[in-house]
Structure 1
Amino acid sequence: MTKIVAVYRTAYPLPSEAFIPSQLLGLKRYQPLVWCRDFHGSDNPQIKVKSVFADKPASVWRKVLFTFFGIAGFKDDVQLVHAHFGPDAAMILPLVKRSNLPLVVTFHGFDAQQSRWSMLKSKTISNWLFLLREKMIYRYASRIIAVSAYLRECLIRRGCPPDKLIVHYIGVDTARFKVDSAARIPKRLVNVSRHVDWKGIDTILRALPQLIVQYPDLVLVQIGSGPDTRRLQQLAVELGVSEHVHWRGALPHEQVLAELRQASVYVHAARTDEKGQTEAFGIALIEAQACGVPVVATRSGGIPEAMLENHTGLLFEENDHAALAAQLDSLLSDGARLDFLAHNAREFVVSRFDINVQSAKLENIYDEIGS
């Protein structure tokens, strides 16, 4: 009999979290059932989604009862629950405990990196709940998954028991992310990042002026949106590079894929912000490399785990736009080296991060819990 795993995400699906449905579709021996509080509509009929309110109206009162006490309007026959992100685990914990179900929690980044003081100041109810129930999560959960070895160390420093921690990379669908040499456009850089400080988009913009002198046809395609959009666009104007930057905004995953296939280099400049947050792993780097695109990225957080330095891409230090420009120049001026890294990039992802292989490993974790 196929076992059912309830995958909890408070808001589902989100455009920036395509890795969650990708992981679900990779499961073979477990049938995923997504539980969510706020359903944003899904066009994927292969994934069954259920509101925690069942068929009842999601009134303010019902949301309050569920958010704080885990009181839901349904009962499903599931074997275990897998919550994505620490605050989501805190929200579903009362329901899981009452149902005496095993719990797996995946931490993805901010939930393990941001200081408790930063979370407290965020004035976000889900963060406050997480702070209140964090130690209970560590005690109750059967397994805590970190998306990188870097994040595992962050969780240990927060007090998570090391014996419950496991590093598991989500991976990507290497059948969808393919090399398309005919689509490749020379001197085309792509970056996929939300417009927030720790993504370091300004570092990329500051690297452009000296590159454009040598490569007048250079273009940066920036995919994303956020609170810093206006500031970043104004910076591009001040630097005199606005005509070389194409701001695409937030795009559906299929369109992101199309942009990656056209890139000659993927660039990523994440850095550690004042809250302690940086890139926990960098799934966009994996997606780019799966398309045969070499990467140039900061030596920050879990990024070095998502690539092989000098084999699939190059690294530079946080905030060093001059070093970024030098690394990009070394690739753009050497077609043979660029091709070498591009070939290695695809093979690296296929061998280490194929979604079917990684999802099978996740099912082994489920098996250990259920045994």
Structure 2
Amino acid sequence: MRVGFVVGQFPMLSETFVIGQMAGLLRRGFEVDVVCNGISDYNFADRQEEPLATLLARTRDWWGPAARLRPAIGRLPPKLYDKASTALDISSVARLNQCDVIVAHFGHNGARAARLKKWKRLAPPIVTIFHGYDVGVPLKERDLDRYNDLFEQGALNLTVNDYFRRVLIQAGAPEAKVAVHHMGIDLKKIPYEWKSWRGATLQLVSVCRLAEKKGVEYALRALARLHADAPALDWHYRIIGDGPLRPQLEALASELGIAGQVSFLGSLPHQEVKEWLRRSHAFVLPSVTAPNGDVEGIPVALMEAMAAGLTVVSSTHSGIPELIEDRKTGFLAAERDVETLANRLRFIAEHPDDCERIAAEARRKVGAEFDMEALDDDFAAILSRFSRSRLAA
């Protein structure tokens, strides 16, 4: 069976889950083609290593040799841009039509494929996976009707959480065409290791892009509240990642008087990130809805931390409560609720034994519902059904 993936820039460090899903299909005997919106100059993996070596050999820019015109076309007025980009998209249709099914990651890529199907240029069924930005931003802008063609022409819309499923149905997607399919993690590569902080410094960590929706500002404010309320508690907070808010966040840590207990480590190689996670006790990610509506799906970083035995602290945001149940598999506070977040952090600092039970339950939760191997089996079965339906037709 041949699957054509339609994605944005490829490959992307922030979208390793896309590569993981493609690799899962390769391991199950599928052929994979990739049509993307630009082949990136990535620096996070070896071009010769698998699965990237195989995937890149099967990757084509939507616009082929005309991709060099992308900057100029991007400056066109919207109507002219739509006409020019659609005409260039058609240059990839012959390759996509050789596939049994199309998988589009992110709603805008699904809509792009659906437009070609509406014009009867694209034959295979389209399965679109919605992740976060592609739901939250149009919801905020009251513009979910941008997906009307996709709702009509697409075969299936998969959402990474149930919250997104409900949003799409309310926006007009046929209920029979919308289902939840979680992203997952490779549990075989993440050994569970509980580490108590009794009599030691509580090591807190965040691994994320330093953008507003990750909520690092509120983690800092909560820790400042904790420092004021319980100055004797011994903790250190490390922030791994970079992004546009780093200067402001560094300044905020100083302004709050906690800079001596906060380290900004910047972007680190994956192996170093794994080592810092191994040394840490609790993972902090109090996500919030950004002003433009951007939201999380269910962050893979939280799944990985839970699998590894860290106590997780997050927020009642988007699909996160589908992963974390407060005080049972982790700790939650409402978005931007600094007081509750500080209380949760204080409880963790003072009750390591209770947290051991919670961490063990968190590992069980991830194993039951977010195991990448089981999810890839399910995904392969979904695609196979569409292929059989097409052959029968």
- TM-score, structure 1 normalization: 0.87
Cα distance change, pair 46–54 in 1 and its aligned pair in 2 (3 A)? farther
Distance, in Å, in 1 between the alignment partners of 2:218 and 2:282 is 16
Distance, in Å, in 2 between the alignment partners of 1:348 and 1:163 is 27
1:78 to 83, 90, 99: 99
Distance, in Å, in 1 between the alignment partners of 2:367 and 2:379 is 17
- Pairing 1:204–2:225 present: no
- Pairing 1:147–2:184 present: no
1:52/1:72 contact within 8 Å kept: no
Give structure 2 stretches of 5+ with no counterpart.
Answer: 74-82, 389-393
**Aligned-partner SS, 1:82:** strand
Equivalent residue runs for 1:133-282 within 5 Å: 134-180=147-193, 186-212=201-227, 213-214=230-231, 217-282=234-299
2:114/2:154 contact within 8 Å kept: no
Per-residue deviation, residues 315-371 of structure 1 (Å, max 9, x unmatched): 111211121111111122112112112222222211221101001111121122222
The one-letter code matched in structure 1 to 2:69 is V
Displacement, 1:273?
A: 3.5
2:79 is matched with: none
**Aligned-partner SS, 1:114:** helix
**Aligned-partner SS, 2:121:** helix
- TM-score, structure 2 normalization: 0.82
1:100 is matched with: 123
1:304 is matched with: 321
2:39 is matched with: 39
Runs of 4+ aligned structure 1 residues displaced above 6 Å come to 182-185
1:113 to 108, 118, 136: 136
**Aligned-partner SS, 1:11:** coil
Cα distance change, pair 54–206 in 1 and its aligned pair in 2 (3 A)? closer
Q: Could you tell me the percent identity over the aligned residues? A: 28
Cα distance change, pair 183–82 in 1 and its aligned pair in 2 (3 A)? farther
Larger Rg, first or second structure (1 or 2): 2
Per-residue deviation, residues 37-70 of structure 1 (Å, max 9, x unmatched): 2112453422413123697463206995884331
Distance, in Å, in 1 between the alignment partners of 2:105 and 2:286 is 25
Farther off after superposition, 223-232 or 349-358: 223-232
CA RMSD of aligned residues (A): 2.7
Farther off after superposition, 102-111 or 281-290: 281-290
2:145/2:171 contact within 8 Å kept: no
Distance, in Å, in 1 between the alignment partners of 2:142 and 2:214 is 19
The one-letter code matched in structure 2 to 1:37 is N
Give structure 1 stretches of 5+ with no counterpart.
Answer: 121-130
Per-residue deviation, residues 10-55 of structure 1 (Å, max 9, x unmatched): 2011111121112222232433332212112453422413123697
Cα distance change, pair 357–215 in 1 and its aligned pair in 2 (3 A)? farther
The one-letter code matched in structure 1 to 2:171 is R
- Pairing 1:21–2:26 present: no
The count of corresponding residues between Structure 1 and Structure 2 is 359
Distance, in Å, in 1 between the alignment partners of 2:326 and 2:146 is 39
Farther off after superposition, 55-64 or 108-117: 55-64
2:297/2:318 contact within 8 Å kept: yes
- Pairing 1:68–2:86 present: yes
Distance, in Å, in 2 between the alignment partners of 1:288 and 1:103 is 33
The one-letter code matched in structure 2 to 1:88 is N
1:342 is matched with: 359
